[in-house]
Amino acid sequence: MKKRLPKIGFHFFCTIIYVFLLAPIVVVLMSSLTATDYIVFPPKGLTLRWYVELVNHPEFMQSFMLSVFVALGTSLISTAIGTLTSIAIVRHQFKGKTAIVQLVGSPLLIPSVVFGVALLQFYSWIGLAASPAALIIGHIILTIPFVMRLVVASLVGFDRSIEQAAMNLGAGKFRVFFQITLPIIKSGVIAGAIFSFITSFDDLTVALFIVSTDVVTLPVRIFTYMQYQYDPIITSVSSIMILLTIVLMIIIERVLGVGKVFASKNQ
């Protein structure tokens, strides 16, 4: 009896957490099936009408493609820069190291609204117009801290004699990096890439300051659309995003295992 009670409490607690996390997703998914012209939960009637309706809104598709492009670019570049910076920081002592660590980590501390305003001013000063490149640069700055957190974690406790062993067997510096170092910190690097992708894909605050009428990311598109209309097409777009994320997660799980991706140390 003594042991039972805490166990029941634990299960109750877990259930509450799951409900709290999953309920909004379920609500969105279900209300996208409503037959009404307005968003309602629980849905009235059952139809895929709002998914078909998307055909009449090519701007959502455009924005989706742009967001994917920006997120991919951000993820690729920021993972590359973040990984190399992490290696420098973990393994070498040099002048101004603390300054670099603080500088690179600062986007985590600055409110993204402030960061957005700063970027807007900076871009207009150097004359950079709203473009996918402008978005990617902004997002790289935003996501590098995430990449570094994860890669640094997988580098700490990295046994460097493994690299020495490879050198000893005849491998040059590049070989050692690509055949030994990178595969061993792979989980941290991939987790960093996924985080950057999601952060970039999801970003509204910073993008709001950079977008123009013809360069609009998906979150900004949804946001502006909702200011004028409030029909279930929003929920169908959101549902597609959710389903895509789930597919992404399943792929990662199949390829690597989520546990492995988020484990900080290689075993």
Is residue 259 at the binding interface for other proteins, with CB under 8 A as the rule?
Answer: no
- Describe the crossing of helices 233-255 and 218-228 by its angle, rounded to 10 degrees: 160
Closest contact distance (angstroms) between CB of 175 and other proteins is 7
Is residue 243 at the binding interface for other proteins, with CB under 8 A as the rule?
Answer: no
Measured CA to CA, the distance from residue 205 to residue 109 in angstroms comes to: 15
Candidates 184, 204, 252, 263: give the one binding other proteins (CB under 8 A). Answer: 184
Closest contact distance (angstroms) between CB of 172 and other proteins is 6
Candidates 183, 214, 253, 258: give the one binding other proteins (CB under 8 A). Answer: 183
Is residue 93 at the binding interface for other proteins, with CB under 8 A as the rule?
Answer: no
3-state secondary structure of 173: helix
Q: What is the Cα Rg of the chain in Å? A: 23
C-alpha distances (whole Å) from 9 to each of 17, 18, 61, 248 are 12, 14, 46, 33
Nearest one of 225, 253, 254, 251 to 238, comparing CA atoms: 225
Burial of 266 (0-12, 13-18, 19+ CB in 10 A): middle
Closest contact distance (angstroms) between CB of 147 and other proteins is 21
Residue number, 78 or 181, with CB nearest to other proteins: 181
Whether 67 contacts 59, CB under 8 Å: no
**Measured CA angle at 101 (ends 100, 104), to 5 deg:** 80
Is residue 54 at the binding interface for other proteins, with CB under 8 A as the rule?
Answer: no
Is residue 57 at the binding interface for other proteins, with CB under 8 A as the rule?
Answer: no
Candidates 165, 226, 243, 255: give the one binding other proteins (CB under 8 A). Answer: 165
Q: Who's near 99: CB < 8 A, 6+ residues apart? A: none
Is residue 169 at the binding interface for other proteins, with CB under 8 A as the rule?
Answer: yes
Q: Which range binds other proteins by CB under 8 A, 36-44, 64-72, 144-152, 175-183?
A: 175-183
Is residue 90 at the binding interface for other proteins, with CB under 8 A as the rule?
Answer: no
Residue number, 62 or 266, with CB nearest to other proteins: 266
Is residue 265 at the binding interface for other proteins, with CB under 8 A as the rule?
Answer: no
Residue number, 119 or 176, with CB nearest to other proteins: 176
Is residue 172 at the binding interface for other proteins, with CB under 8 A as the rule?
Answer: yes
Question: Which amino acid does the sequence have at 53?
Answer: E
CB atoms within 10 A of CB 117: 13
Measured CA to CA, the distance from residue 167 to residue 175 in angstroms comes to: 9
Q: Which range binds other proteins by CB under 8 A, 15-23, 131-139, 165-173, 246-254?
A: 165-173
Q: Which range binds other proteins by CB under 8 A, 107-115, 167-175, 218-226, 232-240?
A: 167-175
| Interacting residues with other proteins (CB under 8 A) | 159, 161-162, 164-172, 175, 180, 183-184, 186, 266-267
